[in-house]
Amino acid sequence: MKFKLNLSSIFSQLLLLFFVILWITPTFGLLISSFRDKDQLAISGWWTSLINTEVSEIHRTKGKNEQSKENEVYFIRGNLFKEDKGKKILSFGVTSKNINAYIVGEKAVLKDKSEIVVFENGDYEWKSENEFKKKKGRRIFITAKSPPSFTLDNYKEVLFEAGLGQAFLNTIAVALPATLIPLIICSFFAYSLTWMNFFGRDILLATIIASLVVPLQMSLIPILTIYNDLGALFNIEAKSFPGIWMAHTGFGLASTTFLLWNFMKSLPNEMLEAAKVDGASHYDTFVRIVIPLSIPAFASIFILQFLWVWNDLLVGLVFLDKHPSEIILTAKLKELLGSYGENWEILTTGAFISMTVPLFIFFSLQRFFIRGLVAGSVKG
């Protein structure tokens, strides 16, 4: 019997480890990809980031303006690489039909009888008995070994050139109020539904629970219409941060109230009755007893609401404009996906930046998360 229990425990731990690895691996891959050189990222996966990668590239020699004459022979010398990245050329070619026609150090004879030699470090020498006429030089096809390369240029481009930095700040300006406002309102609401007796309390609670099944998309257009009408009536700008705060607050009221109510009804009734006997008002009871005991629930709901607002795209597109002072992170990433569809270094960096704040919030409050979620499920 003991052996069976140990076997079951080992199996459950291995299964848990499997799911942890399954969750961490894409995140780790995204982090590595966000620092990789864009040329390497375009041709190989993140799992090859620590080994040499074989790349095929096209470079161009210098043109006729860079030629020199030595002993009646014309030379053009230079290096194919614009900057030294540690690449080592394995082979080269002078036509696209055979890009590996020559090994490094071997002479390639061209149609005009000129000769070109390419060396391992990218240096080349092109010589001809006749004066060079090509202004742009000649294309050289190379196959090279590229060592692992990591850079911060991706983050510089995304944050300062692509405009993701402003979108990041805009998203924080949306997410924090849109998380705290419903949490504050619903904490009072849940307390009243749990510990205060008034007419229609059960009907109100049933209505809140029933509203959980209403899809957000179904109520989005009517709310936007009312919002625009009110904005026109009071001469307020139609799309602004207060509007999206109220929208997220409205969409989060039902779920937040239900979760807090489920937690608060598990609090010991004797403690609240003792406070009432001592003359404490509902406000005093709420502030001095209920709030300190409900910290795990507040933390878990804060995480859930914040993640929902942070990752939202639909509400942000509807209630905010796309100009830089208002666009949120998810909308900006959508734009980058359209503008930089082949620039994976931009997309991976932008995606990882969007994950940093939710990860920080989750790991900061994770010790309260499970306690807050399961609280109220068992009474005793």
Q: Is 4 helix (H, G, I), strand (E, B) or coil?
A: helix
Q: Which residues, 6+ apart, have CB-to-CB distance to 331 below 8 Å?
A: 167, 313, 316, 317, 320, 322
The DSSP code sequence of 22-54 is HHHHHHHHHHHHHHB-HHHHTTS-GGGTTS-EE
State phi, psi for 139 to the nearest 5 degrees. -75, 135
Helical (H) or strand (E) element with 130 = none
Tokens of 104: 């490094």
* Burial zone of 64 (CB within 10 Å; 0-12 exposed, 13-18 middle, 19+ buried): middle
Average pLDDT across each block of 10 residues of the chain; the chain has 380 residues. List them in order. Answer: 64 84 85 81 78 85 87 88 81 88 90 89 90 86 86 83 84 93 92 86 86 80 77 64 86 89 85 83 87 87 90 85 82 75 72 85 73 50
Q: Where are the domains of the chain?
A: 53-146, 155-374
The rounded distance, in Å, linking the Cα atoms of 291 and 285 is 9
What are the beta bridge partners of residue 150?
36
The rounded distance, in Å, linking the Cα atoms of 311 and 290 is 30
pLDDT at position 237, please? 62
pLDDT at position 380, please? 43
Paired sense of beta strands 115-118 and 107-109, if any: antiparallel
pLDDT at position 197, please? 83
Determine the topology of domain 155-374 in CATH. MetI-like fold (1.10.3720)
